[in-house]
């Protein structure tokens, strides 16, 4: 069975950027694992009021589990670091944990945030750096030529501009997830405490209108067969469709 691993910082990171991809590959028979490094115990919590960070964290883990069930993540790994605190975790400790998870799972494909974290959130940046280091080390545990294909989640330039985000690495490919838009929407709706973020990113979805969900998700290929790929290129006018396991 082929294996796909997403390495993220917060409950909901997986659904926002990759919900359609997860649902699609699950349907194709791929085993999907997700690392969520924090439990997301910070920030606004929608209609809810919680007595403590622990209560909010437990609630968000519950939301994440429901989203994972909908999308088809069969292996959820929670590190339970403090939300907002990843940048204060010893970088070696964080990358060691990711390394251990990779060695345990032996995924064929690994996906995380790009070095700018897409939104520049310090937790996103910290998990991206930790995963970079972990992937390089973990490659030694694979046979030559069998090393995992490594991608960053990406957002096309035009969309970044529309969202007011700084320019980032160009995507090198896209995944057609048309058939999985509604599963992505359903998974987003599980993250009820994140209603403000969902309303901003996908207006209408929390109210049951899925029309703001696009039909594609984007990736930048970073490493393949143990070798780096040049990621400094400009975005091409028409991005090729991607098959994650072919390492395109
Ligand atoms: Zn996040």
Taken in order of first residue, the domains within the chain and their CATH numbers are 3-246 (3.40.50.10320)
Integer CA distances (angstroms), 247 to 60, 133, 140, 158, in order: 33, 20, 19, 25
Give the model's pLDDT for residue 46. 77
The helix or strand, by DSSP H or E, that contains position 55, with its residue range, turns out to be: helix 53-71
How far is the centre of ligand 1, averaged over its atoms, from the C-alpha of 16 (Å)?
Answer: 9
How far is the centre of ligand 1, averaged over its atoms, from the C-alpha of 15 (Å)?
Answer: 10
Higher pLDDT, 166 or 138: 138
Closest CA to 103 of 131, 145, 141, 76: 141
| Average of per-residue pLDDT across 143-156 | 97
Asked if the model's pLDDT at residue 223 lies above 90, the reply is: yes
Give the model's pLDDT for residue 100. 98
pLDDT by residue (tens digit) across 20-49? 999 999 999 999 999 999 998 776 777 788
How far is the centre of ligand 1, averaged over its atoms, from the C-alpha of 206 (Å)?
Answer: 18
| Average of per-residue pLDDT across 125-151 | 98
| Average of per-residue pLDDT across 63-76 | 98
pLDDT by residue (tens digit) across 203-221? 999 999 999 999 999 999 9
CA–CA dist 14, 7 (Å, integer): 8
Asked if the model's pLDDT at residue 248 lies above 80, the reply is: no
Q: Are 76 and 68 contacting, i.e. CB atoms less than 8 angstroms apart?
A: yes
Query: 43-47, 122-126, 177-181, 233-237: which has the minimum mean pLDDT?
Result: 43-47
| Average of per-residue pLDDT across 117-146 | 97
How far is the centre of ligand 1, averaged over its atoms, from the C-alpha of 168 (Å)?
Answer: 17
How far is the centre of ligand 1, averaged over its atoms, from the C-alpha of 63 (Å)?
Answer: 14
How far is the centre of ligand 1, averaged over its atoms, from the C-alpha of 64 (Å)?
Answer: 12
CA–CA dist 84, 124 (Å, integer): 9
Round the average pLDDT of the chain to a whole number and report it.
95
User: How many Cβ atoms are within 10 Å of 233's Cβ, its own excluded?
Assistant: 11
How far is the centre of ligand 1, averaged over its atoms, from the C-alpha of 79 (Å)?
Answer: 14
How far is the centre of ligand 1, averaged over its atoms, from the C-alpha of 113 (Å)?
Answer: 10
Give the model's pLDDT for residue 48. 81
Ion ligand 1 residues within 5 Å by Cβ? 9-10, 13
Residue 179: which pLDDT band, with cuts at 50, 70 and 90? very high
Q: Are 6 and 22 contacting, i.e. CB atoms less than 8 angstroms apart?
A: yes
Asked if the model's pLDDT at residue 107 lies above 90, the reply is: yes
Give the model's pLDDT for residue 182. 98
CA–CA dist 233, 173 (Å, integer): 12
Give the model's pLDDT for residue 45. 76
Give the model's pLDDT for residue 52. 85
Give the model's pLDDT for residue 43. 67
How far is the centre of ligand 1, averaged over its atoms, from the C-alpha of 12 (Å)?
Answer: 7
């Amino acid at each position: 069975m082929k294996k796909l691993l997403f390495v993220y910082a917060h409950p909901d990171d997986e659904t926002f950027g990759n919900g359609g991809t997860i649902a699609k590959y699950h349907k194709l028979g791929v085993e999907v694992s997700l690392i969520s490094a924090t439990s997301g115990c910070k920030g606004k919590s929608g209609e809810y009021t919680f007595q403590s960070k622990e209560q909010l964290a437990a609630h968000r883990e519950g939301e994440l589990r429901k989203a994972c069930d909908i999308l088809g993540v069969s292996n959820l790994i929670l590190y339970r670091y403090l939300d907002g605190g990843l940048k204060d975790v010893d970088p070696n400790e964080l990358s060691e944990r990711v390394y251990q998870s990779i060695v345990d799972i032996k995924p064929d494909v690994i996906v995380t945030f790009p070095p700018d974290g897409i939104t520049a959130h310090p937790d996103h940046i910290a998990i991206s750096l930790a995963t970079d280091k972990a992937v390089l080390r973990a490659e030694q545990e694979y046979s030559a030529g069998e090393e995992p294909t490594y991608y960053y989640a990406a957002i096309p330039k035009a969309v970044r501009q529309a969202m007011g985000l700084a320019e980032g690495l160009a995507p090198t490919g896209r995944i057609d997830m048309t058939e999985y838009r509604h599963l992505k929407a359903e998974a987003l709706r599980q993250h009820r405490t994140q209603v403000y973020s969902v309303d901003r990113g996908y207006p209408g979805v929390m109210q049951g209108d899925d029309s703001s969900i696009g039909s594609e998700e984007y990736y930048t290929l970073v490493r393949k067969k143990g070798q780096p790929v040049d990621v400094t290129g400009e975005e091409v006018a028409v991005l090729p469709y991607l098959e994650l396991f072919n390492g395109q």
